[in-house]
Amino acid sequence: MKGSPDTGLVRLAQGGDKDAFTELFTRYEGRIFGYVYRMVGNRAWAEDIAQDAFIRAHQQLGRLGPPHDFKSWVYRIAGNLAVDSLRRHKTEVPLPDWDAGETAAPEPADQRRDGDPERQAQASDVRNAVWRALHELSDNYRRVLVLRELEGLSYTEIAAAAAMSLGNVRVTLHRARRQFRDLYGLQVMVEEGKRECHELDELLSAFADGELDRGGRKRVKDHIASCPQCERKQRDLLQVSSLLGLLVPAFPPPTLRASFQARLADAPPPPSPPVRLGGVGQGGGSGGGGPIRAAMPPWVQVLAAGGAIVFVGVLALSAFLALRSGFPGGFEDPPTPTPTPLPVPQATATPEEPTVTPSPSPTPGPQVGFWASDETVQAGGCVAIQWYTYGAEQVYFDGNEVAGSGSLYICPCDDHLYTLDVVLPDGSHDVRQITVDVLGECIVDTPTPTPIPDQQPPPAPQLMRPKDDALLSCGSTVTLEWNGVDDPSGIAGYYVRLQEEVSGRPPDSWQWGPIGGTEKTVTVTCGTRYSWVVWAEDGAGNVGSGSESWRFSVQGG
């Protein structure tokens, strides 16, 4: 059953097979919980809504007709529940609660315990700012942005999950990205007296997502080549995707599965899919009743049509007579049905049985996620490759070491196999691969893939000479040496700080940089003790953390 497609599992579940629906739950519990958590910003709340979404999907499964797209359907149910709950209960922007649940926030692979605390604090500040900007968006904007950037859904899947047309998805997603950019502070003000270019607008987002045809891609590329404003907008939109990729993954709590299974065990089987005569099928679209109508002999169809006309005439005559006679013996007003309010997800678990009390809550083992926004793309179109890891030692994308969580926008011209190699704590490797198939051939002027802006600081240099706590003979100068470091953007230079260690007065200190080499000769005073530190700046302007602080003493004259 684990290898069965969603379509087969849906049909089995519609027939009352709860094991089949449990398999559907297993496939999507992590993604639905993460989606709802990004929407509402609270783990307990997200757990209740995710559980209710799957229970509601089970009870309404008979309504799901061909093509039995369970994925988009359960995303739609969960999103609607989340938005309804936010409108009823949300009073302020939710803050990150990564440490409030049963697991701590996953750390990127390059932020281990022996990493630089200052760098970890800076990364946490960025994630908090991204989180707040995300939750200052309207519910509708946040929904499409999360579905695209964090869940990796295509425009067609977003249209089904959010009940939008494809054109509306394109416009809404572009506006959501622009509003996020402004809230986060990426907006670059247009110079006074100049009007902002609106020729492309939402086409820029669709271009970055690989959702345009060949003619649309060429139009965008030709315009960007001659419009600095739109070229800047395109860079900003790509940076929005990069920033959202910094959010740590949200794993479902262990109690979600136990509570769902308890409720599913007591739930009645879903109603059978309705069999409809006429032109409406199971999925609510047209064409589902064609075979049944075709099976009717012509004389049956004629009689059915004639009977319908007679029935409508009788109803009209009865209504007319009732009106003229002041309703004696006529139709009574039917009682107005009282709508049953939908259950509102609460912040506490709904079911009381069975009681699940993890003590203590288990810490999840290493986890890896690796996916592409599309696995088939037109030549010259772009695709987002995204990954996240938890508990990893090192992560390599196509042979290059990368952060534990991230994304890349790639515009391939040929079929390509992308590989994520994750080194686990026990030394073993978890290797994931994705093949992106390319349709057609790239046009001659296809640009090289737009790189994601380098926001990763270079590593700290390692000091070499003089050794820590060295005692040097009295002299007028000392040469400080350190090992060079590498960075994808290149190294623009190094900075050196030298400071006296004295008592009874403020110490003197000196700083030099940027320095092109890996050594610096400095003037010293005999009978003085010094400390020194070195840090690097890369070609993108990122300044790394400082090296260890070493000390040396100069003998008295």
CA 411 – CA 449 distance, rounded (Å): 5
pLDDT at 77: 95
Q: In what order do the strands lie in the sheet with 394-397?
A: 376-378, 429-439, 416-423, 394-397, 400-401
Out of 245, 274, 295, a domain closes at 245
- Residue 352 placed within a domain: no
- Residue 309 placed within a domain: no
Do both 82 and 126 map to the same domain? yes
pLDDT at 456: 87
**For 428-442, what is each residue's pLDDT tens digit?**
999 999 888 888 877
pLDDT at 245: 72
pLDDT at 204: 78
Do both 472 and 549 map to the same domain? yes
Can you give 356-374 as a three-state secondary structure string?
Answer: CCCCCCCCCCCEEEEEECC
CA 478 – CA 468 distance, rounded (Å): 14
Average pLDDT over residues 120-144: 85
Name the DSSP class of 537. Answer: E
- Residue 515 placed within a domain: yes
Do both 474 and 389 map to the same domain? no
- Residue 273 placed within a domain: no
- Residue 216 placed within a domain: yes
Do both 413 and 470 map to the same domain? no
- Residue 322 placed within a domain: no
**For 379-390, what is each residue's pLDDT tens digit?**
777 777 877 777
Do both 178 and 56 map to the same domain? yes
Do both 511 and 542 map to the same domain? yes
Do both 472 and 419 map to the same domain? no
Give yes or no for residue 282 having a pLDDT over 60: no
pLDDT at 118: 72
| CA atoms 290, 294, 296, 299: torsion sign | positive
- Residue 295 placed within a domain: no
Do both 396 and 516 map to the same domain? no
How many domains, in total, are found in the chain?
3
pLDDT at 41: 86
Do both 401 and 479 map to the same domain? no
DSSP 33-92: HHHHHHHH--HHHHHHHHHHHHHHHHHTGGG--TT--HHHHHHHHHHHHHHHHHHHH--S
Do both 239 and 108 map to the same domain? yes
Out of 220, 245, 270, a domain closes at 245
Do both 175 and 111 map to the same domain? yes
**For 448-478, what is each residue's pLDDT tens digit?**
566 678 888 999 999 999 998 899 888 888 9
Give yes or no for residue 148 having a pLDDT over 60: yes
- Residue 180 placed within a domain: yes
Record the tokens describing residue 424, joined without a space. 């686990």
Q: Provide the CA 68 distance to its chain's centre, in angstroms.
A: 25
Confidence band, pLDDT 50/70/90 cuts, at residue 519: very high
DSSP 504-534: SSPPPEEEEEEESSSEEEEE--TT-EEEEEE
Average pLDDT over residues 94-98: 50
CATH of the domain at 59: 1.10.1740.10
Out of 404, 439, 474, a domain closes at 439
| Residue ranges making up the domain that contains 523 | 462-554
pTM for the predicted model, two decimal places:
0.50
CA 29 – CA 24 distance, rounded (Å): 8
**Within the chain, how many helices (H) and strands (E) appear?**
14, 16
Do both 115 and 237 map to the same domain? yes
**For 527-543, what is each residue's pLDDT tens digit?**
889 999 999 999 888 88
pLDDT at 295: 38
State which amino acid sits at residue 29: E
CATH of the domain at 468: 2.60.40.10
Residue 71: φ, ψ to 5°: -60, -55
pLDDT above 90: percentage of residues in the chain: 25
